[in-house]
Amino acid sequence: MLMKPLRGVIPPAITPMLDNDTLDLAGLENLLERMIKGGVSGVFILGTSGEAQNLSYAVRKELIRNTCRIVNERIQVLVGITDTSFSESLSLATVAADHGADALVAAPPYYYAPGQAELVQYYTHLSRNLPLPLFLYNMPTHVKVVIEPQTVRTLSENPQIVGLKDSSANGVYFQKVIHLLRDHPDFSLLVGPEEMLAQSVLMGAHGGVNGGANLCPELYVALYYAAKSRNFEMISALQSQVMDISLALYDIGKYASSYIKGIKTALNLLGICSDYMAEPFHKFETAEREIVRQQLIDLGLK
Amino acid sequence: MLMKPLRGVIPPAITPMLDNDTLDLAGLENLLERMIKGGVSGVFILGTSGEAQNLSYAVRKELIRNTCRIVNERIQVLVGITDTSFSESLSLATVAADHGADALVAAPPYYYAPGQAELVQYYTHLSRNLPLPLFLYNMPTHVKVVIEPQTVRTLSENPQIVGLKDSSANGVYFQKVIHLLRDHPDFSLLVGPEEMLAQSVLMGAHGGVNGGANLCPELYVALYYAAKSRNFEMISALQSQVMDISLALYDIGKYASSYIKGIKTALNLLGICSDYMAEPFHKFETAEREIVRQQLIDLGLK
Amino acid sequence: MLMKPLRGVIPPAITPMLDNDTLDLAGLENLLERMIKGGVSGVFILGTSGEAQNLSYAVRKELIRNTCRIVNERIQVLVGITDTSFSESLSLATVAADHGADALVAAPPYYYAPGQAELVQYYTHLSRNLPLPLFLYNMPTHVKVVIEPQTVRTLSENPQIVGLKDSSANGVYFQKVIHLLRDHPDFSLLVGPEEMLAQSVLMGAHGGVNGGANLCPELYVALYYAAKSRNFEMISALQSQVMDISLALYDIGKYASSYIKGIKTALNLLGICSDYMAEPFHKFETAEREIVRQQLIDLGLK
Amino acid sequence: MLMKPLRGVIPPAITPMLDNDTLDLAGLENLLERMIKGGVSGVFILGTSGEAQNLSYAVRKELIRNTCRIVNERIQVLVGITDTSFSESLSLATVAADHGADALVAAPPYYYAPGQAELVQYYTHLSRNLPLPLFLYNMPTHVKVVIEPQTVRTLSENPQIVGLKDSSANGVYFQKVIHLLRDHPDFSLLVGPEEMLAQSVLMGAHGGVNGGANLCPELYVALYYAAKSRNFEMISALQSQVMDISLALYDIGKYASSYIKGIKTALNLLGICSDYMAEPFHKFETAEREIVRQQLIDLGLK
Which of the residues in chain A have pLDDT under 50?
Answer: none
Q: Which residues of A touch B129 (CB under 8 A)?
A: none
- Chain A residues whose CB is inside 8 A of the C246 CB are 172, 176
CA D126 to chain CA centroid, nearest Å: 20
B115/A144 CB distance under 8 A: no
- Residue C59: closest C-alpha in chain D: D87
Contacts of A59 in chain B (CB under 8 A): 87
Q: Say yes or no: B11 contacts chain A, CB-CB below 8 A.
A: no
Handedness of CA A273, A276, A281, A285 (dihedral sign): positive
Q: What is the pLDDT of residue D257?
A: 85
Q: How many Å apart are CA B187 and CA D125, to the nearest integer?
A: 51
DSSP state of A78: E
For the cut 90, the answer to whether the pLDDT of residue C257 exceeds it is no
Which portions of chain B are predicted below pLDDT 50?
none
Cross-strand partners of C208:
C9, C191
Helix (H) or strand (E) holding D189: strand D188-191
Spatial contact of A192 and A167, defined as CB atoms under 8 Å apart: yes
Closest chain A CA to residue C176: A243
Q: In terms of DSSP bridges, do strands B188-191 and B161-166 run parallel, antiparallel, or are they unpaired? A: parallel
Within D181-216, where are the H helices? 197-202
CA distance C57 to C67: 15
Q: How far apart are CA B267 and CA A103, in angstroms?
A: 41
Mutate one of D139, D150, D202 to test the B interface: name it (highest B CB count within 10 A).
D202
What pLDDT shows up at residue B257?
A: 85
**A54 to B112: CB separation less than 8 angstroms, yes or no:** yes
Give me the residue from C170, C179, C240 closest to A179, CB to CB: C240
Q: Is D254 helix (H, G, I), strand (E, B) or coil?
A: coil
- Are chains C and D in contact at 3+ CB pairs closer than 8 Å? yes
Question: Is B112–A53 a contact, with Cβ atoms under 8 angstroms apart?
Answer: yes
With CB atoms and an 8 Å threshold, state whether D171 touches B199.
Answer: yes
DSSP string for chain C: ---SS--EE--B----EEETTEE-HHHHHHHHHHHHHTT-SEEEESSTTTTGGGS-HHHHHHHHHHHHHHHTTSSEEEEE---S-HHHHHHHHHHHHHTT--EEEEPPP-SSPP-HHHHHHHHHHHHHT-SS-EEEEE-HHHHS----HHHHHHHHTSTTEEEEEE-S-BHHHHHHHHHHTTT-TTSEEEE--GGGHHHHHHTT--EE--GGGGT-HHHHHHHHHHHHTT-HHHHHHHHHHHHHHHHHHSSSSSSTTHHHHHHHHHHHHTTSS-----TT-----HHHHHHHHHHHHHTT--
User: What is the pairing mode between strands A22-23 and A17-19?
Assistant: antiparallel
Residues of C in contact with A193 (CB under 8 A): 171-172
Q: Does C255 have pLDDT greater than 90?
A: no
Q: In the structure, what pLDDT confidence band is assigned to residue C151 with cuts at 50, 70 and 90? A: very high
Length of chain D: 302
On chain B, the residues whose CB falls within 8 A of the CB of A126 are: 279
Residues of B in contact with D240 (CB under 8 A): 179, 182
What is the Cα Rg of chain D in Å?
Answer: 18
State how far the Cα of C213 lies from the Cα of C196, in Å rounded to an integer: 14
Decide if D112 and C279 are in contact by the 8 Å CB cutoff: no
Cis preceding linkage at B109, omega within 30: no
**Contact state of A85 with B55 under an 8 Å Cβ cutoff:** yes
- Around Cβ C231, how many Cβ atoms within 10 Å? 14
**pLDDT value at residue B253:** 74
Assess C247–A contact: CB distance below 8 Å, yes or no. yes
Contact between chains at A196 and C172 (C-beta distance less than 8 A): yes
Residue D137: other Cβ atoms inside 10 A:
28
Question: Looking at the complex, does the CB of residue B218 fall below 8 Å from at least one CB of chain A?
Answer: no
Q: Do A179 and C230 touch (CB under 8 A)?
A: no
Q: Provide DSSP, chain B.
A: ---SS--EE--B----EEETTEE-HHHHHHHHHHHHHTT-SEEEESSTTTTGGGS-HHHHHHHHHHHHHHHTTSSEEEEE---S-HHHHHHHHHHHHHTT--EEEEPPP-SSPP-HHHHHHHHHHHHHT-SS-EEEEE-HHHHS----HHHHHHHHTSTTEEEEEE-S-BHHHHHHHHHHTTT-TTSEEEE--GGGHHHHHHTT--EE--GGGGT-HHHHHHHHHHHHTT-HHHHHHHHHHHHHHHHHHSSSSSSTTHHHHHHHHHHHHTTSS-----TT-----HHHHHHHHHHHHHTT--
Question: From the CB coordinates, do chains A and D have 3 or more pairs under 8 Å?
Answer: no
Mean pLDDT over residues C217-232, rounded? 98
- A243 → closest Cβ in C176, C199, C243: C176
Question: Which of C185, C39, C40, C162 has its CA nearest to residue C105?
Answer: C162
CB-based contact D128:D162 (threshold 8 Å): no
Q: Which one-letter DSSP state was computed for residue A80?
A: E
Question: For position A127, what pLDDT does the model report?
Answer: 97
Q: Which of C54, C82, C90, C136 to mutate to test the interface with D (most CBs of D within 10 A)?
A: C54
User: From the CA of A293, how many Å to the nearest CA of chain B?
Assistant: 24
Chains that touch D (3 or more CB pairs under 8 A): B, C
Place C253 in a pLDDT band, splitting at 50, 70 and 90. Answer: confident
Q: Region of B288 please: left (phi>0), alpha (psi -120 to 50) or beta.
A: alpha
Contact list, B51 vs chain A (CB under 8 Å): 112
DSSP state of A42: E
Residue C252 has pLDDT above 90, yes or no: no
User: D179 at the B interface (CB within 8 A)?
Assistant: yes
- CA-nearest of B173, B7, B229, B135 to D171 is B173
- Check CB contact under 8 Å for C111 and D20: no
Question: Containing H/E element for A76?
Answer: strand A76-80
| Cβ separation B115–A254 shorter than 8 A | yes
Mark the ranges of chain D whose per-residue pLDDT is less than 70. Answer: 254-255
Length of chain C: 302
Looking at residue A127, what DSSP letter applies?
H
Q: What percent of chain C lies above the pLDDT cut of 70?
A: 99
What single-letter DSSP state applies at residue A169? -
Chains in contact with A, counting 3 or more C-beta pairs less than 8 Å apart as contact: B, C
Residue to mutate among A199, A200, A238, with most C CBs inside 10 A, is: A199
Give Cα D115 to chain centroid, integer Å. Answer: 24
Q: How many other C-beta atoms can be found within 10 angstroms of the C-beta atom of residue B278?
A: 27
How distant, in Å, are the alpha carbons of B281, C52, C128, D277 from that of C122?
A: 48, 20, 10, 13
pLDDT at C31 over 90: yes
How close does chain D come to B176, measured CA to CA in Å? 7
Which residues 196-215 on chain D approach chain B with CB closer than 8 angstroms?
Answer: 196, 198-200, 202-204
pLDDT of amino acid D182: 97
Q: How far apart are CA C71 and CA D92, in angstroms?
A: 34
Output the pLDDT for position D302: 87
Asked if A174 is an interface residue toward chain C (Cβ–Cβ < 8 A), one would say yes
Letter string b/e over residues C75-97, b meaning 16 or more CB atoms within 10 A of that residue's CB: bbbbbbbbbbbbbbbbbbbbbbb
Q: Is A51 helix (H, G, I), strand (E, B) or coil?
A: coil
Contact C57 D54 (CB under 8 A): no
* Residues 268-287 of chain D whose Cβ lies under 8 A from any Cβ of chain B: none
Q: What share of chain A is helix, strand, coil (3-state, %, to 5)?
A: 50, 15, 40
pLDDT of residue C251: 87
Share of chain C above pLDDT 90, in %: 97
Q: What is the pLDDT of residue B251?
A: 87
**Ramachandran quadrant class, B118 (left: phi over 0; alpha: psi -120 to 50; beta: rest):** alpha
